[in-house]
């Protein structure tokens, strides 16, 4: 998908964002997947629970993203679901969930904000109002404007800082329950405008395990490209039905791995579902319809791995290693065609 990666690479350099030496520890599984919704974005971040604990995550919105940050305190912006490994509960998985709300003035202490943002001033402060088993575990999140060379990458980033979970119980500043998050699924509405083509880029910084100090040199980047999908369709007569064929692409390049649903009928405004086929490795699909005159197809593609993205972004991210790049999923529908 060269058009995706070339456009993303043109977003600019990132030297000012993370000027740290390259260092790979037990911290390479982080992955970001982003899907645009009708009025916002769905952000899914995952990692291996056996990796070193995460100290901070920074997720930069794509260049050209319009921001809306004037929501009143208490406004619900979406929802978030987290799965964490709780050290205090024999490493059991603990699901946490709750709304994302705009923080009230003073709800996040200036000390906590300064420690997380290192003096940067946020455009907005949110609370991830997580709870589990009757226990509230609120986590602050900040929307921060980029500065200097970072502005070429995007206008702002979400930053979340976490407490170390693997210090001895009772240690001040330890994460409650020794909770080590490894899956986050958040939907944010009314803040981020849609972009036609670009990339969200996440930066993950771990703790040095067991001591609660931040391992800045272990920072990694995990990008997620956004790109539009398209589908073509033609129907060639075969008996009472037709051979329905076409191609699925994303940003003009073949997109494998999706599913195509074929609709057909004797009238163009009365189409019914005839069946489904998988998209081949080269982006093509084929379906034998036993009846019908008019046809329409719909393709659904899930987020997928996108190795070329790291290659294109590499110079911009250096010296931070780039891992587990993805490209967005999509749903797209064709026009109605008549068999020939």
Each residue's pLDDT tens digit, 310-329: 988 877 788 899 999 999 99
Residue 139 has pLDDT above 90, yes or no: yes
Q: How far is CA 152 from CA 147, 191, 312, in A?
A: 9, 20, 15
Contact assessment for residue 236 and residue 337, using Cβ atoms and an 8 Å cutoff: no
Is residue 122 over pLDDT 80? yes
Query: Using an 8 Å Cβ cutoff, are 298 and 287 in contact?
Result: no
Q: What is the mean pLDDT of residues 136-152?
A: 87
Q: Model confidence over 271-313: pLDDT tens digits?
A: 999 999 999 999 999 999 999 999 999 999 999 999 889 988 8
Predicted confidence at residue 289, as pLDDT, reads: 97
Please report the beta strands in 135-293, taking only residues with DSSP state E, as ranges in sequence order: 135-145, 156-161, 179-189, 198-208, 213-214, 220-226, 229-231, 234-238, 241-250, 253-254, 259-267, 270-278, 284-289
pLDDT in tens, 147-194: 876 777 899 999 999 999 999 999 998 988 899 999 999 999 999 999
256: CB partners within 8 A, 6+ apart = 279, 280, 281, 282, 283
Give the pLDDT confidence score for residue 5 in this predicted structure: 35
Mean pLDDT of the chain: 89
List pLDDT tens digits, range 220-240: 999 999 999 999 999 999 999
SS3 state at 98: strand
Can you tell me the mean pLDDT for 248-266? 95
Label residue 25 by pLDDT band (50, 70, 90).
Answer: very low
- pLDDT of amino acid 3: 37
Average pLDDT over residues 106-111: 93
DSSP 334: P
Could you read off the pLDDT of 41-90 as tens digits, one per residue? 999 999 999 999 999 999 999 999 999 999 999 999 999 999 999 999 99
Fold of 229-304+329-338: Immunoglobulin-like (2.60.40)
Contacts of 299 (CB under 8 A, 6+ apart): 229, 231, 248, 258, 259, 260, 261, 279, 330, 331, 332, 333
Query: Do the strands 198-208 and 179-189 form a parallel or antiparallel pair, or are they unpaired?
Result: unpaired
């Amino acid at each position: 998908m060269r058009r995706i990666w070339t456009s993303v690479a043109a977003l600019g350099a990132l030297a000012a964002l993370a000027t740290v030496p390259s260092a790979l520890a037990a911290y390479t599984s982080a992955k970001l997947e982003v899907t645009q919704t009708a009025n916002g974005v769905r952000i899914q971040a995952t990692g291996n629970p056996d990796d070193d604990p995460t100290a901070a995550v920074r997720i930069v919105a794509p260049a050209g993203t319009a921001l809306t940050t004037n929501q009143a305190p208490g406004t619900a912006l979406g929802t978030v679901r987290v799965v964490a490994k709780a050290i205090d509960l024999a490493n059991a998985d603990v699901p946490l969930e709750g709304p994302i709300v705009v923080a009230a003035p003073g709800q996040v202490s200036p000390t906590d904000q300064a420690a997380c943002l290192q003096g940067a001033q946020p455009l907005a402060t949110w609370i991830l109002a997580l709870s589990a088993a009757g226990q509230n575990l609120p986590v602050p999140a900040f929307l921060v404007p980029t500065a200097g060379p970072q502005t070429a990458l995007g206008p702002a980033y979400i930053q979340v800082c976490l407490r170390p979970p693997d210090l001895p119980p009772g240690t001040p500043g330890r994460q409650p329950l020794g909770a080590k998050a490894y899956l986050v699924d958040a939907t944010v509405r009314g803040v981020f405008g849609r972009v036609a083509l670009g990339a969200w880029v996440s930066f993950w910084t771990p703790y040095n395990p067991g001591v609660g100090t931040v391992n800045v040199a272990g920072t990694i980047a995990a990008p997620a490209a956004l790109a539009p999908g398209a589908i073509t369709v033609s129907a060639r007569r075969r008996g009472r039905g037709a051979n329905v064929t076409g191609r699925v692409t994303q940003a003009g390049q073949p997109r494998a791995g999706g599913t195509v649903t074929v609709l057909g009928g004797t009238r163009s405004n009365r189409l019914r579902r005839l069946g489904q086929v998988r998209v081949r490795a080269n982006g093509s699909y084929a379906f034998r319809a036993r009846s019908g005159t008019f046809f329409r197809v719909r393709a659904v593609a899930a987020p997928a791995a996108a190795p070329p993205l790291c290659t294109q972004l590499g110079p911009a991210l250096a010296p931070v290693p780039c891992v587990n790049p993805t490209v967005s999923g999509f749903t797209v529908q064709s026009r109605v065609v008549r068999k020939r």
